[in-house]
Structure 1
Amino acid sequence: MTSATPDSPVSLEIAVTSPAGAVVARDGGADRVELCVGLELGGLTPSQGLVEAAVATGIPVHALVRCRPGGFVYDADEVELMDRELEAIVRSGVAGVVVGALGADGSLDHDVLRRFVGTARALRDDVEVTLHRAIDHAADPVAAVALLADLGFTRVLTSGAAPTALTGAATIARMVSAAGPVQVMAGAGVIPADVPALVATGAAAVHLSAKRPAADSAHAGVPMGGADDGSAHFVTDSDVVRAARAALSASA
């Protein structure tokens, strides 16, 4: 079982969408951030300027590479695009990248994943590579996680194939047992009160967005797209970050 020990405490990752969010996470005690845009869509690739600005804050940045919302079966053009995005992001100094791809049968797309890992490590061999929550859409997430070490992954983010990490905790524990040297990070719908139960799974890290609606950011004007309901955008909440850090410290 690859689990947290007193010598390797459970780490805290915060999903952020801005340099300001990275600063809030850094100052609140997070170990790293996952940087993306479109959290309400499950996260999409951040712009080059956003990556550079987040890296400049000093906290380790792990940038998501996901070219569109929806499922995780990609055509050749989408794979080529994400491969190019990977190159640009790694050159920007990130500590890690977050990728994923599935086959039509729900298995891991080994060819695409090997390509992504190879692209990242060819530029810098110390880049960490995380498999994102595509794992939760795999036909058998527990069997899939056992293959990640051979594919070169550092860690995997998972809810245990459940709507939230808390409800998927039993499966997360099984994934920890199957993962070998790959770190299992529990995430999805996490609040600080969930931390003790997620630590008990043996997960090496806990991931949450720690978000709240930005003040005065809602609008009642003309919709900007089919998914625009006029609601506020989200920012990183310093109180939630600190509460999660405190919960991890108490669970150590």
Structure 2
Amino acid sequence: MTARPALEIAVTSPAGARIARENGADRVELCTALELGGLTPSAALVEAVAAEGLPVQVLIRCRPGDFVHDAEEIALMVAEVRSAIASGAAGVVIGALTADGALDTVAVARLAEAARTAGRPVEVTLHRAIDQSADPVATAALLPSLGLTRVLTSGGAPAAADGRAAIAAMVTAAPGVQVMAGGGVRPADVPALASAGVASVHLSAKARAPRRLGGTWIPLGAGGASAEQDTHFVTDPEVVAQARRALESVG
């Protein structure tokens, strides 16, 4: 009998990890700046989230934008991998591409090796850089040789529900690597994604936090966000619970 897929929730705080745990998540991915696609969290934040009890996969991404990283950025992310693991991470989420859209296997191998020197078992996930690669399925086929634990992917589509065929092809192309569907996933998408053979499903389950400032609002960042948009995301307990129920309904 095939195991039911696991549920991973992207969180940005200890409160988010607590909500994820209380509503049925199996593990969390921790980052900051979810509105930018996620960036590396601080060591203190990793420690605080790990204390909530669920296994924590820490996103290692030193800046927003593309996934083509120079030597200085790779060196920084190697240090971030070591810091995250020393702070209690159960795993790290890494990735890099070359300028022509291929997987940067040298950089990925270096980041993965930094994780493996932790002195304890650590999981290593390839993040959604794969979805910006020239050929996501062919990229997935490289992962077994790199010894990665899993890959997070939307199948190269804007949302995983639209990339289900490619996700299923990745499951076949990368034996021994856990394929995790993520990217624009809603609880209603979970049964169909599970049918693609994925090992887990990833949701941000996010909602905009209410603004609490009583004084004058002025824009502080780029992009000219409105007062309503100039906020951060928090974890929605009902979305997590709906995703858990959707998974429980699968086979």
Q: Bin the TM-score by the shorter chain.
A: over 0.9
**Does 2:201 match 1:226?**
no
Residue matched to 1:247: 246
Offset from partner CA, 1:153-208 (integer Å, 9 cap, x none): 00000000000000111111111111110000000111100001100111110000
Residue matched to 1:106: 101
Name stretches of at least 5 consecutive residues in structure 2 with no aligned partner: none
**Does 2:209 match 1:214?**
yes
Secondary structure of the 1:46 match is: coil
What is the rounded CA distance, in whole Å, between the counterparts of 1:80 and 1:117 in structure 2?
A: 12
TM-score normalised over the length of structure 2:
0.95
User: Number of paired residues?
Assistant: 247
Residue matched to 2:26: 31
Offset from partner CA, 1:2-43 (integer Å, 9 cap, x none): xxx53x320000000000000000111100000001111111
What is the rounded CA distance, in whole Å, between the counterparts of 1:129 and 1:71 in structure 2?
A: 20
What is the rounded CA distance, in whole Å, between the counterparts of 1:228 and 1:126 in structure 2?
A: 44
What is the rounded CA distance, in whole Å, between the counterparts of 2:52 and 2:120 in structure 1?
A: 22
TM-score normalised over the length of structure 1:
0.95
Offset from partner CA, 1:89-118 (integer Å, 9 cap, x none): 111111110000011111111111110110
Q: 2:4, 2:250 within 8 Å by CA — same for their partners in 1? A: no
What is the rounded CA distance, in whole Å, between the counterparts of 2:158 and 2:80 in structure 1?
A: 29
Secondary structure of the 1:66 match is: coil
What is the rounded CA distance, in whole Å, between the counterparts of 2:46 and 2:220 in structure 1?
A: 25
Offset from partner CA, 1:96-143 (integer Å, 9 cap, x none): 100000111111111111101100011134100000000001111101
Shift in Å, 1:218: 7.5
Residue matched to 1:195: 190
What is the rounded CA distance, in whole Å, between the counterparts of 1:162 and 1:203 in structure 2?
A: 16
Q: 1:130, 1:153 within 8 Å by CA — same for their partners in 2? A: yes
Are the structure 2 counterparts of residues 147 and 19 from structure 1 closer, same or farther at C-alpha, using a change threshold of 3 Å? Answer: same
Task: Tell me which amino acid in the other structure corresponds to 1:123.
Answer: A
What is the rounded CA distance, in whole Å, between the counterparts of 2:217 and 2:92 in structure 1?
A: 36
Residue matched to 1:91: 86
Spell out the pairing of 1:133-148 with structure 2 (5 A cutoff). Answer: 133-148=128-143
**Does 2:69 match 1:74?**
yes
What is the rounded CA distance, in whole Å, between the counterparts of 2:24 and 2:237 in structure 1?
A: 10
Identity of counterpart residues, as a percentage? 58
Secondary structure of the 1:185 match is: strand
What is the rounded CA distance, in whole Å, between the counterparts of 1:44 and 1:191 in structure 2?
A: 22
RMSD: 1.3
Which of residues 108, 116, 119 is equivalent to 2:114?
119
**Does 2:50 match 1:50?**
no
What is the rounded CA distance, in whole Å, between the counterparts of 1:11 and 1:47 in structure 2?
A: 26
Shift in Å, 1:228: 5.6
Task: Tell me which amino acid in the other structure corresponds to 1:214.
Answer: A
What is the rounded CA distance, in whole Å, between the counterparts of 2:207 and 2:213 in structure 1?
A: 12
Task: Tell me which amino acid in the other structure corresponds to 1:243.
Answer: Q
Task: Tell me which amino acid in the other structure corresponds to 1:226.
Answer: A
What is the rounded CA distance, in whole Å, between the counterparts of 2:29 and 2:13 in structure 1?
A: 10
Are the structure 2 counterparts of residues 218 and 243 from structure 1 closer, same or farther at C-alpha, using a change threshold of 3 Å? Answer: farther
Q: Which 4+ runs in 1 deviate beyond 4 A?
A: 217-220
Task: Tell me which amino acid in the other structure corresponds to 2:222.
Answer: G
What is the rounded CA distance, in whole Å, between the counterparts of 2:125 and 2:220 in structure 1?
A: 33
**Does 2:3 match 1:12?**
no
Name stretches of at least 5 consecutive residues in structure 1 with no aligned partner: none
Secondary structure of the 1:168 match is: helix
